[in-house]
Structure 1
């Protein structure tokens, strides 16, 4: 599924540098709305809408009112839209009251605040935001004539707002496999209330953060707040690619070997003999085996036969039709359950069955990856915008599937 985004940025330059992340990562053309009063009728007309609220230097009460009014207008898109509050990477502005106004107005259950922007020297460790290694409250930002920075501690920044009392996630925890706990869960004597601030020193930390959150909750239920660094991680999301190879042509078999030997994807070969013998739970078992790999962000290649033994599964007559159907059912179940960065399909019967089952009625060709191998984009339906590569079994070089997966991963 291709998500729709609405970004509220507190100044024009911030609106522009955040819009760039969508252009680079999605090939979308973001619309930047300079006057929030023109929001009516526009918000639903673009996949990426960036609104310049011009609230950075307003009095806190006025900033709250302006964001609250925008939230009231945008509330009808809750559940189908990812909302992002672009904040200053040096903590200037009205971040706390804007978070409160937007979360309250939209009714979102989770707040994620990560202002780090490693590419620009803005990092957060032990909740302290530093610019080129210096705590931000000790830089020139503390002398800003309109909105001087009074603290470097990002967790303190949100304390005291009606929106949340944040729980800070430090680098060791984030890098150690942090997952968002269930809402209301207890951490010692404290109850998790759905508001989190995060350390981040690298772009990979921000991507890890996004994976940790979206593994537990849908991104549409989160108010994301931060600089363009978090926006880049969110829009990319480092989503996994699902590849399904139904062809047993020798060239496809060699291509599968290249994928597995290179580590480009994890391989999964269903027990087709059990399926052909009508073993109960074959499809459900395959889904439960592959799902954890996709949740971990790993690319997965599903093949209908073992590359070291292509004769391990019969692909003739009625068996071939049943195998194509099974692979189609498996791919559809996984595509509906998980957010994918792209889908690779090889084998004409398998590809056709999968696309029909996913109600794909139209694709657009965006480029040719290799001769005869197109990169497509799904147009309309539940998978709108999903990148897709299809390949005939006999086409390509030994590394064609490797190249396709890497291109889909972005």
Structure 2
């Protein structure tokens, strides 16, 4: 067989198709390219390769032979996972041993818990909704009955040691071959992944979809929450707030030229805002580039034969529609609108029917959510002249540190 030299960040070996999908879905949701292979060798580039050996109901010796054929497709994996059924059905011990031999892994972490499905490990035993698994329906499974809840009973060729999280890192450091780790929560599974990272050689991970989910959480790229701020106010207070926040890292500013609005030259602004958000930045959209801009209003009114009220309505309507188009295309974590007329124009463009107040930030920024429209994420509003120079920065910190998903 020709060797497969493609690098895989993660290789998961599952014993049936649905289990393979369960193992891979959280990795896919974390942004990884995930492929499930029915046949080997698998030549396509992928971040995570999920191999389905379809061996759950085979004799243990035949299942082990299937594992032994996988060499070229697992050799370059940084993370190697033997995905098992959370109720211990199948050939867990035989397949784990075969995969350890094939991969030359010195240590194995065995953590079959799947808390989200009611399956936990306690004192070295598998419990399903609080009962030992051999006292549930899985004990009489038609194809792969489970005779024991004691996890060490699964391994005839490995010496297992049941431990708690408190001693996991110490046991890894001592070189203990098979560690059967209690876990009752997702936080426990996250801690197991963290402990694996302390090893010189990454251990073979053996577990259910719960452990795969924990690995996906570890591998998911860090993402900071994003704010889209639309500031229509030309007050000096608002300008001080914008000037200060522009000095913060991860903040992009898009200045809307009022003359572009009046001349209908507005096509590029949506692209600028989208690029800022897609780059992971907070985006501040405003119409007043400097202190002097507010003194040009009379000139603009005369040039375009508009009253001040009509000019304001035109600007607000544009900002409302621009915000709607941005939110149709992008998903910032929160929306901030400064200036009462602008806030109302945004609400109108989004077809909001009302506003539910939840709380307040920095003493002058009520926040909540629009009612009756498609935008369901938090909305912050502020009168243009309210607050201090730090107000918008405080809103930013609230978004990044305190806003829940």
The answer to whether structure 1 residue 115 and structure 2 residue 112 are counterparts is: yes
- Is the aligned partner of 1:27 residue 2:31? yes
Find the residue that maps to 1:398 and give its secondary structure. helix
CA distance in 1, matches of 2:19, 2:394: 45
Secondary structure of the residue aligned to 2:85 is coil
Q: For structure 2, list consecutive stretches of 5 or more residues without a partner in the other structure.
A: 1-6, 225-242, 253-274, 286-329, 332-389
Q: Distance in 2 between matches of 1:234 and 1:15?
A: 15
Shift of 1:108: 1.4
Post-superposition offset of 1:149: 0.6
The residue that corresponds to 1:11 in the other structure is 16
How far apart, CA to CA, are the structure 1 residues paired with 2:276 and 2:36? 26
Residue by residue over 1:165-203, the C-alpha shift from the partner in whole angstroms, topping out at 9 and shown as x without a partner, is 122112xxx2x47424455x3xxxxxx433211111111
CA–CA distance in structure 1, aligned partners of residues 145 and 276 of structure 2: 49
State the 1:208 CA deviation. 1.7
Question: Is the Cα contact below 8 Å between 2:14 and 2:50 reproduced in 1?
Answer: yes
Please give the alpha-carbon distance, in whole angstroms, between the structure 1 residues aligned to 2:283 and 2:202: 42
Q: Higher relative contact order at CA 8 Å, sep ≥6: structure 1 or structure 2?
A: 1
Which residue is equivalent to 1:169? 163
Q: Of 184, 187, 205, which residue of structure 2 is paired with 1:224?
A: 205
Which 10-residue stretch deviates more, 228-237 or 89-98? Answer: 228-237
Alignment correspondent of 1:61: 61
- The Cα offsets for residues 2-42 of structure 1, whole Å up to 9 and x where unpaired, read as 97111111011111111111122x2223111123xx32424
For the Cα contact (< 8 Å) 1:124–1:201, is it kept in 2? yes
Residues 1:206 and 2:189 are matched in the alignment:
yes
Do the aligned partners of 2:245 and 2:251 also contact (CA within 8 Å) in 1? no
Residue 338 of structure 2 corresponds to none
Does 1:73 pair with 2:78? no
Match of 2:94 in 1: 97
Q: CA RMSD in A?
A: 3.8
1:237 aligns with 2:218: yes
1:397 maps to 393
Out of 371, 390, 393, the residue aligned to residue 283 of structure 2 is 371
The one of 169, 173, 187 equivalent to 1:179 is 169
| Structure 1: runs of 5 or more not aligned | 186-191, 244-248, 256-343, 348-362, 376-393
> Which residue matches 2:126?
129
Higher gyration radius (CA): 2
Count of aligned pairs: 259
Q: CA separation in 2, counterparts of 1:404 and 1:3?
A: 33
Aligned-partner Cα distance in 2 for 1:178–1:370: 40
Q: With structure 2 as the length reference, what TM-score do the two structures score?
A: 0.55
Supply the distance in 1 between the matched residues of 2:60 and 2:396 (Cα, whole angstroms).
Answer: 55
* Cα distance, 1:195–1:239 mapped onto 2, change above 3 Å: farther
Give TM-score, length-normalised by structure 1. Answer: 0.55
Residue 39 of structure 1 aligns with which residue?
41
